[in-house]
């Protein structure tokens, strides 16, 4: 199975990792590792997580206040990360990306 980031999701991911790294040494790396683990879990079993709207599903990170929104194509075996959203910042802005 393959995956890609929506350009805005990639920007959110990079900004969040940089923000955490500025707060504490290696915290940005830990955030990145958490997101990578979530992406691996999604790729392994994309239909296991909660559907929210329009074929989009959500995976909530445990340690960090972020959720990953994604869509997948069963036939094409492809996942697209639509958003990596902080729980308290513009939580519904990903809906414009569908």
Range of the domain at 61: 2-97
Q: Which CATH number do you get for residue 89?
A: 3.30.2310.20
CB 13, CB 35: distance < 8 Å: yes
When divided into structural domains, the chain yields a total of 1
Question: Is a pLDDT exceeding 70 seen at residue 26?
Answer: yes
User: Reduced to 3 states, what is the DSSP secondary structure of residue 5?
Assistant: strand
Does the reported pTM lie above 0.75?
yes
pLDDT, one tens digit per residue, over 67-98 is: 999 999 978 799 999 999 998 876 666 667 77
- Bridge partners of 58? 50, 69
Q: What letter would DSSP give residue 45?
A: -
C-alpha closest to that of 42 among 86, 89, 9: 9
- Mean pLDDT, to the nearest integer, of 2-27? 97
Rounded to whole angstroms, the Cα distance separating 62 from 55 reads 23
pLDDT at 93: 67
Quick one: pLDDT band at residue 59, thresholds 50, 70, 90? very high
Q: What letter would DSSP give residue 64?
A: S
Question: Is a pLDDT exceeding 80 seen at residue 39?
Answer: yes
Question: Is a pLDDT exceeding 70 seen at residue 58?
Answer: yes
Rounded to whole angstroms, the Cα distance separating 70 from 47 reads 10
């Amino acid at each position: 199975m393959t995956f890609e980031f929506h350009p805005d999701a990639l920007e959110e991911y990079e900004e969040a990792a940089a923000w955490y790294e500025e707060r504490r040494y290696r915290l940005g790396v830990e955030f990145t590792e958490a997101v990578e683990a979530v992406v691996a879990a999604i790729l392994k079993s994309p239909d296991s997580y909660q559907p929210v709207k329009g074929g989009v599903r959500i995976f909530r990170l445990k340690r960090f206040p972020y959720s990953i929104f994604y869509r997948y194509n069963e036939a094409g075996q492809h996942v697209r990360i639509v958003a990596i959203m902080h729980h308290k910042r513009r939580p519904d802005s990903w809906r414009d990306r569908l």
